[in-house]
Structure 1
Amino acid sequence: MTAVPRPARQSRAVEAQQGVKDLIVRRGLVAGDPLPTESELMEELQVSRNSIREALKALQAVGIVDIRHGFGMFVGRMSLAGLVDELTFHSRITLQNGKNHLAHLVEIREILESGLVQRLIDLGQEADLTPISDVIARMESEADEGLVSPETDRLFHDLLYRPLGNPLVSQLLGAFWDVYYQLRDHLGEPDEPPLDVAKRHRDMYTAVLAGDRAAAEAAVHAHFHGVRNRLARLRG
């Protein structure tokens, strides 16, 4: 049997990937729904087993397909893990560059949060921010002991924007946070005392509660001041 050239095999695998995605859309499947077996996909898409397996492996890597050995294949749930890995890698190799990727990511997140606090103020009384007070109290308690934990910091932002009802906000901010957290040891010691960190978070919370747009935006920018300083220090 004549071997199929590699470019041809790759092309068929790419076609199989598109075929699987089209099948998911055509059947109206959603995250967690079971997918047809390999044999069923081969028959429906008219491709070889190797092409199907290569396609499924590629789709699994980007979270479109979830393969659970012993249970079957399912439509994957959206994940930004691949994006986090890529951004972390490229940010790491450009940390000493004046135009490093991490600085760009921080800038994007700062702009995003500046807009999100305005959306919260638009919600007014519909935005239930009650859970934030407990997180602020925990943050201030940690600051008194000398360090605000990354988990508390992340929880603050997650709960603050939850009333917006947009799950992508949490995932996207979480992705930015993950990249920064993985690179934190490369940035040197923080410039801000823990009590200042806690205060900047409280200022954001207080401004949103008061509906003070200018104060909310100023608080967001102040919150990112320490991060900008650490990045500027890397640039010399």
Structure 2
Amino acid sequence: MAVTDEAIEKIKAMIVSGELSPGDRLPPEKELSERLGLSRNSMREAVKALEVIRVLDVRRGDGTYVTSLEPHLLLEAVSFVADMHDDDSLLEIFAVRRMLESQATGLAATLGTDEAVAALETELASLDADVTIDDLVDHDIRFHREIVQMAGNTYLASLIESLSGQTVRARVWRGLTEQGAVERTLSEHRAIADAIAQRDPNLATSLATAHIAGVERWLRQAATA
């Protein structure tokens, strides 16, 4: 193991063990390097690496702190990688989203509160017959976000959010170019919401899988046209 990797592992162990908690300030560099038996250079490189992935927050002139360690912070690196995708890899992003979000939808049918189910139905009822593509995409983002949040797993929600943001352009593109896309999307959303309201996780999972797979299928055909 490289010395810097060893330093990263030792700092991580301090956090995992509870010796360092979210918001805690790390001991001074000299003290920490001596305690862990590592050089100050390797400690410095480890801190830089952990700052990049938002585990540590280096405040110039103040010190180095453990961040809140909230999921949206820790998963920013995933969002960065997704931002760098090209059109060929977009299908892979959709595939990952399909696998994760379909399971989250099943969990929503099991764990979602009555209030959350009612909010989902209100979201669907907020659209009228003259919905624009922009309105549809905004609704689509809210609809799927509410369902994922119903699953009650903040890490899963943050991961899906980071992936979902990369698919907005394709969703707009489909809405503009595919005949009947608006009506089909709303119909599929209503079916998913009904399955969640009926507390049927198997049906909800299947419908969500088919819903996202439909966009994948269209994207694959559009890319080869």
The 1-side partners of 2:164 and 2:149 are apart by 16
Q: Taking structure 1 as reference, are residues 141 and 42 closer, same or farther at Cα in structure 2, changes over 3 Å only?
A: farther
Contact 2:120 2:146 in 1 (8 A): yes
Aligned to 1:235: 224
Aligned to 1:6: none
Aligned to 1:23: 14
The 2-side partners of 1:178 and 1:70 are apart by 36
SS, match of residue 66 in structure 1: strand
2:30 to 26, 35, 39: 39
Q: How big is each residue's C-alpha offset from its partner over 1:135-180, in whole Å with a ceiling of 9 and x where there is no partner? A: 2234x24962342354442222222232332112211211211232
Pairs within 5 Å for 1:149-168 = 150-168=137-155
Q: Taking structure 1 as reference, are residues 30 and 190 closer, same or farther at Cα in structure 2, changes over 3 Å only?
A: farther
Greater RCO, 1 or 2 (C-alpha within 8 Å, sep 6+): 2
Higher Cα Rg, which structure = 1
Aligned to 2:124: 136
Q: In percent, how many aligned pairs have the same letter?
A: 24
Contact 2:108 2:148 in 1 (8 A): yes
Q: Which 5+ residue runs of structure 2 have no aligned equivalent?
A: none
The 1-side partners of 2:130 and 2:61 are apart by 47
Aligned to 1:3: none
Are residues 1:208 and 2:196 paired?
yes
The 2-side partners of 1:159 and 1:186 are apart by 20
Q: Taking structure 1 as reference, are residues 39 and 143 closer, same or farther at Cα in structure 2, changes over 3 Å only?
A: farther
Q: Taking structure 1 as reference, are residues 125 and 59 closer, same or farther at Cα in structure 2, changes over 3 Å only?
A: closer
The 2-side partners of 1:159 and 1:116 are apart by 11
Question: What is the CA distance between 1:56 and its match in structure 2?
Answer: 0.6
Are residues 1:49 and 2:40 paired?
yes
Q: How big is each residue's C-alpha offset from its partner over 1:108-141, in whole Å with a ceiling of 9 and x where there is no partner? A: 3223333333333334766742221332234x24
Q: Which 5+ residue runs of structure 1 have no aligned equivalent?
A: 1-9
| TM-score normalized with structure 2 length | 0.77
SS, match of residue 44 in structure 1: helix
Pairs within 5 Å for 1:1-236 = 11-76=2-67, 77=69, 78=71, 79-89=74-84, 91-92=85-86, 95=87, 100-123=88-111, 128-138=116-126, 140-141=127-128, 144-148=131-135, 150-181=137-168, 184=170, 189-191=176-178, 193-212=181-200, 215-224=203-212, 225-236=214-225
Residue-pair matches, total: 218
Q: How big is each residue's C-alpha offset from its partner over 1:42-73, in whole Å with a ceiling of 9 and x where there is no partner? A: 23223333322211111111222222334432
Q: How big is each residue's C-alpha offset from its partner over 1:194-230, in whole Å with a ceiling of 9 and x where there is no partner? A: 3433332222112211234565345324422134302
Contact 1:142 1:149 in 2 (8 A): no
Question: What amino acid does structure 2 have at the position aligned with 1:75?
Answer: V
Question: What amino acid does structure 2 have at the position aligned with 1:11?
Answer: A
The RMSD of aligned alpha carbons is 3.2
